Amino acid sequence: MKSSFEFYFQNLEDLLKKEGKNGASSELLNSLLLERITLKIYEKIFPKSETLKDQEFHDRLKTLQWITFQNLSINFKWNKAEEIWKLSIEGIFLK
């Protein structure tokens, strides 16, 4: 991991030198690196298209719709607010 980080950091420095930003501060480099890492994590968490795993997970959630409050031992006063729960459930399964 460390060598990959150093490799990427060096490439980033080289790119900034080519763009005429010699002597770029480590703060700028860290900021750019953080931006890149964040973007890559975001792309993994929120892919542009649905994968087979996503569809399988969605289908599995649908099979669990028979679970009730009593199955989960939820004893809160608001657990009987069926309308709120129906809206929440619909929100989960919207595509």
Amino acid residing at 88: S
Statement to judge: residues 7 and 28 lie in one domain: yes
Closest CA to 67 of 45, 92, 37: 92
- Which domain range does residue 36 map to? 2-45
pLDDT-based confidence at residue 2 (cuts at 50, 70, 90): low
Same domain? 38 vs 58? no
Predicted confidence at residue 20, as pLDDT, reads: 66
- Residues 41 and 57 grouped into a single domain: no
- Helix axis angle, 52-63 relative to 82-93, nearest 10°? 160
* Structural domain count of the chain: 2
**pLDDT at residue 1 is higher than 60:** no
Average confidence (pLDDT) over 64-83: 69
Residues 5-59: tens digit of each pLDDT: 677 777 777 777 777 666 657 677 778 778 888 888 888 888 788 888 888 988 8
Query: Are residue 59 and residue 84 in the same domain, yes or no?
Result: yes
**H helices then E strands: how many in the chain?**
4, 0
pLDDT at 69 over 80: no
56 and 82 belong to one structural domain: yes
